[in-house]
Chains A and B, each alone.
Chain A
Amino acid sequence: MKARLEEAILPVVVALLIAAVVGDALILSFGQNPGAVYRLLFEGTWGNAYGLGQVLYKTTTLTFTGLAVAVGLRAGLFNIGAESQLAAGGFVAALVGLTLPTGLPSLLTLPVYLVAAAAGGAAVGGVAGVLKAKAGAHEVITTIMLNFIVLALLNYFIVADLKVEGTLHTQPIHAGALPRLSDVAAAFHGSAANLVLLLAVAAALMTWWFLFRTKRGFELRATGLQPGAAEYGGVDVGAVWWRAMALSGALAGIGGLNFVLGYKHYYEDSFGAGAGFLGIAVAIVGRNHPLGVVLAALVFATMSQGGLAVNAMVPKQIFDVLQAVVIIAVAASVPEVRRVLRRTAAA
């Protein structure tokens, strides 16, 4: 158990250290003092309520998209489509929200929103899953193509029909919008963090429970590890594939609530802004474990917000570079670190 934990965490720690070294070098190359930049980064993120709120907001979306990708990977499927599933979830939730009468209590509307957002994401993910199960179409290809199709379609709906003149977003939703963190604690004023954060934590817990404690989760992981053995064990592998893709899409879709229901209270074209794609990195760095996904989402959210905080000293793109370094380092170091661990265990 201890060895397994080490094996899971060590590559990430090593990756972060590598990123720190690369970060130092980049900061020095701009003639700045790394210590000062990191201090500013900390102050701009965890150091004040606004920054922390922004980090938590970004963490929320990334947790959902990270979980989505992780569930897919656990089933042996590489879902590249979280970006469009996130958008579709937010879009369907907004459509439903615009038709709901105002004044309904949040407790009543929240389940409706959850179902709508999940259905929107699941529909997009499910299409890729069914194409895989029935026609053998590779999910990487179909989810990439679905990104183009779905995002273009949503853009068309907004531009053609739903936009408020002069913008790219819908009318505001009045029914059951969720409170922001600043409504609870005034210090968070101005930050986007909202109660969908709690949904993200709940989703991570439920995903863990589903994957590791239920029969369907057992069958899903077996399919991902060894489809031949799962099939031998009486598992309908095709059904697992399309269900896993639908679940993956549903998780990404619910992530859309963070923006639509928690932050802006309307749907805006391209609100995802790459959070779906970053979910791939979150899942990989989080080692496809729900807890790891939450932690990885925090790290990536901090880097993303931190980039904004230090922009006055160094270009914020430095942190895009560092994100890429972390991803590459984790992806490359996983088998490497495992080998090192084996060697030290033998000695």
Chain B
Amino acid sequence: MSMANQSPSPLAIRLTDIHKSFGPVRANRGASIEVVRGEIHALVGENGAGKSTLMRVLSGMYAPDSGRMEVNGREVTGWSTADAIAAGVGMVHQHFMLVPTLTVAENMMLGRELTRSGQVDVARAARETAELSRTTGLAVRPERKVSDLSVGEAQRVEILKTLYRGATVLILDEPTAVLSPPEIRELWHVLRGMRERGETIVLITHKLGEVMEISDTITVMRQGRTVDRLRTVDTTPGEIARAMVGRDVQLAAQFTAEELERTSPPRTLADAAPLLEVRDLVVDDARGLTAVNGVTFSVHPGEILGIAGVEGNGQTELLEALAGLRRARSGTIHVARTDVTSRPVKERGDLGLSHIPEDRHARGLVLDYSVAENLVLGQQHRFTRGVRLDQQEILANARRQIERFDIRPDDPGLAARALSGGNQQKVVIAREMGRDFQVLLAAQPTRGVDVGAIEFIHARLRDARQAGKAILLVSADLGEILALSNRVAVMYGGRLVTIVPRADATEEVLGPYMTGAAGQPGANAA
């Protein structure tokens, strides 16, 4: 009964030798992929390997410079997004493309509005949404406003919207980045159901655990080229990682609790007075609603405290309050035993607070400034002669940091915008960790950076712990939290719902806290 038998070609997708450049950036240079109908295909590679570009070419967003595209055996090279949708190829992007002020049903029909006697027929869209939600298992309520949805729900709407438009080839770009472990399991369940109905799924990811768990076949890309095709059952995470990076890498998941113990700080340091102390902190979000609701914790010298949790549970506001970017409504923050609760950013920096912000594009870097200028951002008052900036010292500093943190290319005059994600993050890391500091706020320190850079950044964080710094690590990647932290806290609904030593922290223990199933007043303890 398989669909493949009814068609001359079992291939849903065949892209051959695709080239696509953006100015000097050659995103794809000889990329190929073959996806069999009715399979879950993982497209893996480091950040910047060209995975998203290749899939955007497939979905008609970009026209390839050269190469050949076939979908269901039909030549479609350089088609438009409208053609792609009509042929049943739909892509769910990393950044959602929904209108927040409209309801789920209204978003579903946006672009192909159903009408009845000239009026938009929302009721019918809602009925059809509910029907599709039932058959796919993607639970959504059509009448809810998108702005009221959690990230996981919004993603379900995105997937439903693509299916609603008749997609039989579904491309998902890093879908699990914003999901909690239970939500991820639910997504896998839905994808397997779709596979059984004969639909084809391409999953863009760089998380090897996911690849092993869900995919049937794997295409590995590196530097714009396809370097390997693997059958999931015949391979190992190590082999995939090697293909992605081009050399052996130590995977974060390979760090065990014993290894962590071995690299733990001497007891004397951990017993010393905390360098970061937060008491009963309450912080409002941009809309004036309580985002951080009475948080108390401390971080000792030589310790990494990891805060796990699904994004949007107050982590952003907590970090902004600690960094001095957002006013605390009540509570206190002490850095190096000094009350900094109402001190400005600069004074906190002078006390030894470093901050790797979660969004390097909005906060961490001035993208049109040079690497050298970005390496002094926040420290500009230390690089002056009178009112003038000391250009020579700024340049010398840049040369030192570029060398120390292996920033590539090693051109201090290059605009930060021109660097790859991993090297941009290295600029931020170099600036924040390459100077004297006591306390480090590290928010999503490896988001969107490649495997090699992750390894590097993790090593720097361990070095800093070894040197007696106090580090607060916030990450949506539970694997990263478990690989680095001495203690693990979970943030949910603006509270730290649990703090446990690393040895007691497992995905099974933390999962219920991350979804609010445990640790909430009124919820049953797990």
Contacts and interface: CB of A to CB of B under 8 A. Distances in A.
Interface stretch (B4-12, B100-108, B362-370): B362-370
A222 B379 CA distance: 13
Contacts of B166: none
B177 interface: no
A346 B380 contact: no
Contact of A234 (B24, B349, B391): B349
A222 B388 contact: no
Nearest to B373: A218
Contact of A232 (B24, B26, B325): B325
Interface in B257-297: none
Question: 10 closest A-B pairs (Cβ-Cβ)?
Answer: A342-B23, A234-B346, A233-B378, A233-B377, A234-B345, A232-B363, A228-B362, A228-B363, A229-B366, A222-B366
Contacts of B373: 218
Interface string A334-346: 0000000111011
Interface residues of B, number: 34
Nearest to A341: B23
B389 A346 contact: no
Interface string B374-395: 0001101101100111010000
A232 B364 contact: yes
A8 B183 CA distance: 49
Interface in B331-387: 344-346, 349, 355, 357, 359, 362-369, 373, 377-378, 380-381, 383-384, 387
A229 B364 CA distance: 6
Given A218-B373, A225-B366, A226-B362, A232 B23 contact: no
A226 B366 contact: yes
B364 A215 contact: no
Nearest to B350: A234
A138 interface: no
A226 B24 CA distance: 25
A39 to B, nearest CB: 42
Interface of A: 1, 213-216, 218-219, 221-222, 225-226, 228-234, 236, 341-343, 345-346
Nearest to B23: A342
A232 B380 contact: no
A222 B377 CA distance: 9
A211 to B, nearest CB: 11
A281 B77 CA distance: 44
A225 B363 CA distance: 11
Given A215-B380, A218-B389, A233-B378, A225 B24 contact: no
Contacts of A343: 23
Interface string B413-452: 1000000000000000000000000000000000000000
A231 B378 CA distance: 9
B21 A215 contact: no
A196 to B, nearest CB: 26
B381 A215 contact: yes
Contacts of A218: 373, 380, 389
A214 B388 contact: yes
B24 A222 contact: no
A120 B359 CA distance: 41
Contacts of B344: 234, 236
A218 B357 CA distance: 20
Given A232-B357, A233-B377, A236-B344, A226 B22 contact: no
A219 B367 contact: no
Most chain B CB inside 10 Å of its own CB: which residue of A213, A226, A232, A343? A232
Contacts of B363: 226, 228-229, 231-232
Interface string B137-173: 0000000000000000000000000000000000000
Contacts of A232: 323, 325, 345, 355, 357, 363-364, 377-378
B12 to A, nearest CB: 31
A225 B344 CA distance: 21
A218 B373 CA distance: 9
Contacts of A216: 387
A232 B354 CA distance: 11
Most chain B CB inside 10 Å of its own CB: which residue of A228, A229, A231, A341? A229
Nearest to B381: A215
Contacts of B26: 346
Interface string B302-316: 000000000000000
Most chain B CB inside 10 Å of its own CB: which residue of A233, A236, A342? A233
B425 to A, nearest CB: 14
A1 B413 CA distance: 9
Given A213-B389, A234-B344, 14 more contacts: A215-B384, A215-B387, A215-B389, A219-B380, A222-B369, A222-B377, A232-B325, A232-B357, A232-B363, A232-B364, A342-B22, A342-B23, A343-B23, A346-B23
A206 B391 CA distance: 17
A234 B357 CA distance: 13
B442 to A, nearest CB: 14
A213 B391 CA distance: 8
Nearest to B413: A1
Nearest to B384: A215
Contacts of A342: 22-24
A1 B22 CA distance: 20
Nearest to A338: B23
B369 A225 contact: yes
A229 B362 contact: yes
Contacts of B325: 231-232
A30 B388 CA distance: 55
A234 B22 contact: no
A158 to B, nearest CB: 39
B387 A345 contact: no
Nearest to B365: A229
A215 B384 CA distance: 7
Contacts of A225: 366-369
Contacts of A346: 21-24, 26
Contacts of A234: 344-346, 349, 378, 380-381
14 contacts: A214-B387, A214-B388, A215-B383, A215-B387, A218-B389, A222-B369, A232-B345, A232-B364, A233-B366, A233-B377, A234-B346, A234-B349, A234-B378, A345-B24
Given A215-B380, A219-B380, A236-B344, A230 B24 contact: no
A230 B368 CA distance: 13
A109 to B, nearest CB: 27
A219 B391 CA distance: 15
A6 B381 CA distance: 33
Contacts of B23: 341-343, 345-346
Contacts of A213: 388-389, 391
A230 B381 contact: no
Nearest to B387: A214
Nearest to B383: A215
A222 to B, nearest CB: 5
B415 to A, nearest CB: 9
A266 B369 CA distance: 45
Most chain B CB inside 10 Å of its own CB: which residue of A221, A225, A226, A343? A226
B30 to A, nearest CB: 16
A343 B345 CA distance: 41
Contacts of B357: 232
A230 B389 contact: no
A341 B24 CA distance: 10
A215 B346 CA distance: 14
A230 B365 CA distance: 9
A232 B360 CA distance: 10
B375 to A, nearest CB: 11
Contacts of A222: 366, 369, 377
Contacts of B365: 226, 229
Contacts of B383: 215
